[in-house]
Chains A and B, each alone.
Chain A
Amino acid sequence: MNPYITNTPQEVEQMLKAIGVEILDALFAGIAPAHRPKSFDLPKGLSEYEVMRHVTALSLKNNVHVVPFIGGGYYDHYIPTAVSSLTSRGEFYTAYTPYQPECAQGTLQALFEYQSSMCALTGMEVSNASLYDGGTALYEAMMMAIRITGRDRVIMDGGVSPIYRKILKTYTHHLSYQFEETPIVHGQSSRDEIYQRLDRDTAVVILQNPNFFGAIDDLTDIIAKAHSVGALVIVSVYPVSLGLLKTPAEMGADIVTGEGQSLGLPLNFGGPYLGFMCARKKYIRKMPGRIVGETVDSKGQRCFVNTLQAREQHIRREKATSNICTNVSLCALQAAIFMAVVGKNGLKEMAQLNLDKAEYAKQVLSKIKSVEVKRSAPTFNEFTIHLHKDASEVVAAMMKKGFAAGFPLGRYYPGMERYLLVAVTEKRTKQEIDRYAKALQEVLD
């Protein structure tokens, strides 16, 4: 019935006696008859092997063998076996939040190392210990910028993930912030559109690199312009691309967020993922989420603790920097281990492979007559192609040939029904790319 309950009937008797009640039901006397369930009609329990069989069968109803050329911010990267082997240790995954630092140095040091690696990757000075996912991290960053500046206008570039933009709208539509979206021109952030809207009431400009269409950019000029009117700039980044790309710190960004799934986390049908947030040090006390800091113990040895907790909800309640209680410790640990295994050179190699394979795919696809590869801006591992028919229909036809062909942009961008976003990671082989191109040609003919 429940193999995880260890009390024997004799022990139950002994315990009831110690408590001073006759029967177990007496412990629930405080719940009046009127408050008891009207129904609790659930199935009978199953044995472990029955559940294993049932859930395994469900997992097999999902087809994970379609060859993925789909990204949209979530990528099919290789995860070295050592990563999940280490995070599978019960000492990590069955531990609680490290509120008692003396018996949680493992988690605390690992989170400190995670924060350090995120700083190395983005070039920023400080990082928190993670947030839920890339979209909610961007929302938290926006609120942080509003708090720092005391202003209420937000300029959001159209190249920011439409999924993120929808999330931000949900959280703010009942609050009194002004929210403006600037259109994308030739696949890139439009300086003119952003500058027109920048003023001294602007709290923050939100940008993404590479943007949702895969285009990479040097955002230094936009950031400088925003700073000239006292606005902050958030850049949402794709961490693997930072193996090669100019860092948001080099561009002058104030806050950097992103989705950390590409750093060693499986796709997992949408989660758990890893929201990360880095910033300039001077803003650390306005940051949401847990932060691990170094200190010394009473003997002077180095150790790690949750720090700056006075920002958080358990102390500041309604005045906290955010309502967030948890981080995604285990996902941050996973990313930390991934970044250590892959290392300084490995991340660069991995990024280069992504770039090379995407460039190869562009070459192959551009040979198809009815495909136009958009080349108005350089790209990393994802790019946009224009088709002569509805991309959504093409994707459905490609699905039958065993490919997740990409993400049809029409889903989020009205008027772009014939555009397809194609992602190529290091896992895609030359053969798969060639087969993909052949299948696409067949579908389009």
Chain B
Amino acid sequence: MELIFEKSIAGRKGFDFGDPDVPSHAQIPSKYARSVDAALPEVSELDVVRHYTRLSQKNFSIDTHFYPLGSCTMKYNPKFTEALARLSGFTDLHPLLAQLSGGEQWTQGALQILYELEQWMCEMTGFSDFTMQPLAGAHGELTGIMLMAAYHKSKGNTKKKYVIIPDSAHGTNPASAAVAGYETISIPSNKDGGMDLEALKAAVNEETAGLMMTVPSTYGVFEGNISEISKIIHAVDGIMYYDGANLNAVLGRCRPGDVGFDVMHINTHKTFTTPHGGGGPGAGPVGVNQKLSKFLPISRVVKRSDGVYVLDYNYPESIGYIASFYGNFGLLVRAYAYMLMLGREGLMATTDHAVLNANYIMRKLEPYYKICFDRICMHESVFSASRQAERGVHAIDIAKFLIDQQIHPPTVYFPISVPEAIMIEPTETESKQTMDNFIDKMIEADKLSQTDPAAFREFPKTMPVTRPDEVKAARDIKTSFFLASSPTDAV
């Protein structure tokens, strides 16, 4: 399909700003003015509408397809939360209004939502305080690690150097720890998918700043030794970080704050079904216990004794500003509306059915695909396509086969410690019929891998494009319409 720039006709306009109603016409002195106009497209509104409508039709999405992406929690995004987030009382609200003297009275609704979200999240997780500021899960991780650093610094503990991370962790964990100035130590998993306690004990010492853990792990396994792990880490005054990526598997069944964790983040797009947006924006609220609360970023939202919500900047030990404002408010409104609707029972049911659906798929596929951990899983299960790979059909080939079946592939090649990994997370919002169809297609893929493995090389056949040449994309860099493709100079 043509690019919008290729549809451009010199002189065509898509929007009219009208005639100015002020008498003055000013000019930027030439020294400060751009020499040529920005080469944006010159198209009509109809051109734009058709172009982007057609582009949208080239996507799979939750609204159109089943998306059993392990670790990503692609569940239905209710429409009413979308409508609420688009109310002008939210969208037209300037963030600095709340910081003006007399401005808080004009932002009470927004501040109340932030305040109540904090209350809800504290109760759901067993923590004492939450900040809504982090703009994505990884941003929450970085914030959490900075809180860890602030804690050690406040105790004058300069020895802390390492953050321990299991090998099954998301790549953001080691990257966040490194960005915050820590070195990382990777701990292997045991045969049940839990943490290898002996390896942990061997790695922990006075230099251990903390541990980052995803519970349940990315293998879909709940860590049974959590109390013991937390004892080991706390014995050296380390901080226990809970990566909330999989909170949706235990919400209402286990609270991180009760089982030894000191700090966590929540991915609102997973547990509270804010839309993924084709890759963001997200929101990554961070919760802490009293050990860390005084270090939380400013501003904090507090309720005055007269019932008025205000921004409070008076936290002398705070790590400071981690984002420009109060978080990705538009996403937080959606999460808030979703929580209010579900309430206690509804949220617990979410967990139950997410786990039920995951186990159903796991058991149904077990005869055909090698299962990594033969036990009841949580919200997702991990298979290896190793048997199929012996026939020359790899996880990626099965993924591409599924695309032709109008199913978004599961996560493949993650966790990285599992060869030919296929990670399946159906979520609670998918029906048994949708899952049965997926199971049938997975079985069909296995059969085809026995009868005609060569056929997989052609998949997908029914999409607007076939498999892309990713090597060419990385070697002959063309990342803009205006850029001639060529290798980059080394820097």
Contact = CB atoms under 8 A, between A and B. Distances in A.
A326 to B, nearest CB: 4
Interface in B275-334: 275-282, 297, 319-331, 333
A357 interface: yes
Interface in A338-377: 339-350, 353, 355-357, 359-360, 363
A62 B106 contact: yes
Smallest CB-CB A-B distances: 3 pairs: A270-B325, A59-B89, A45-B343
B34 A62 contact: no
Contact of B324 (A59, A61, A273): A273
A290 interface: yes
B172 interface: yes
A291 B479 contact: yes
A63 B376 CA distance: 51
Nearest to A404: B97
Given A5-B349, A133-B323, A80 B15 contact: yes
Nearest to A243: B38
A325 B341 contact: no
A70 B94 contact: yes
Given A132-B281, A433-B22, A109 B58 contact: yes
Contacts of A196: none
B344 A91 contact: no
A244 interface: yes
Given A297-B466, A356-B20, A116 B330 contact: no
A363 B323 contact: no
A347 B24 contact: no
Given A218-B32, A399-B102, A170 B321 contact: yes
B258 A38 contact: yes
Contacts, number: 714
Given A5-B349, A105-B463, 12 more contacts: A7-B432, A42-B124, A45-B346, A91-B64, A92-B61, A100-B403, A250-B35, A271-B329, A271-B331, A296-B469, A314-B414, A324-B138
Given A174-B146, A340-B48, A166 B276 contact: no
B88 to A, nearest CB: 6
A31 B360 contact: no
A284 interface: yes
B233 interface: no
A40 B255 contact: yes
Contact of B89 (A60, A250, A271, A400): A60
B202 interface: no
Given A43-B343, A294-B485, A295-B469, A272 B331 contact: yes
Interface string B62-73: 111101010010
Nearest to B26: A359
Contacts of B430: 6
Interface string A50-66: 01101111111111101
A76 B49 contact: no
Interface size class of B (residues with CB under 8 A): 35 or more
Secondary structure of the B contact surface, majority rule? loop
Interface string A406-441: 011001000000000000001001110100000000
28 contacts: A19-B356, A31-B250, A44-B344, A45-B342, A61-B89, A95-B277, A97-B279, A105-B59, A107-B278, A112-B481, A116-B5, A121-B38, A130-B280, A246-B34, A293-B477, A318-B184, A324-B138, A325-B170, A327-B280, A329-B281, A330-B278, A339-B40, A339-B41, A346-B17, A348-B38, A356-B24, A360-B24, A399-B106
Given A326-B279, A357-B20, A113 B179 contact: no
B255 A343 contact: no
A220 to B, nearest CB: 9
Contact of B126 (A32, A37, A318): A37
Contact of B84 (A52, A72, A127, A316): A52
B352 A246 contact: no
A192 to B, nearest CB: 20
B278 A97 contact: yes
A20 B364 CA distance: 11
Contacts of A57: 109
A136 interface: yes
A187 interface: no
Nearest to A341: B14
Nearest to A102: B463
A396 interface: yes
Interface stretch (A21-29, A151-159, A197-205): A21-29
B441 interface: no
B467 interface: yes
A337 B149 CA distance: 41
A132 B175 contact: no
Contact of A329 (B99, B174, B280): B280
Contacts of B75: 4
A259 B96 CA distance: 15
A110 B150 CA distance: 41
Contact of B57 (A29, A78, A91, A259): A91
Interface string B242-280: 000000001011110011000000000000000111111
A282 B6 CA distance: 26
A344 B40 contact: yes
B443 interface: no
Contacts of A257: none
Interface in A53-104: 54-64, 66, 68, 70, 72-74, 76, 78, 80, 82, 84-86, 88-98, 100-104
A61 B323 contact: no
A328 B280 CA distance: 4
Residue of B106, B124, B331 ringed by the most chain A CB atoms within 10 A: B106
A307 to B, nearest CB: 4
A30 B384 CA distance: 23
A315 to B, nearest CB: 7
Contacts of B150: 174
Interface in B458-491: 460, 463-470, 472-474, 476-483, 485, 488-489, 491
A185 interface: no
Given A90-B64, A133-B135, A242-B34, A269 B344 contact: no
A325 B172 contact: yes
Contacts of B472: 295-296
B160 to A, nearest CB: 11
A102 B461 CA distance: 10
B21 A121 contact: no
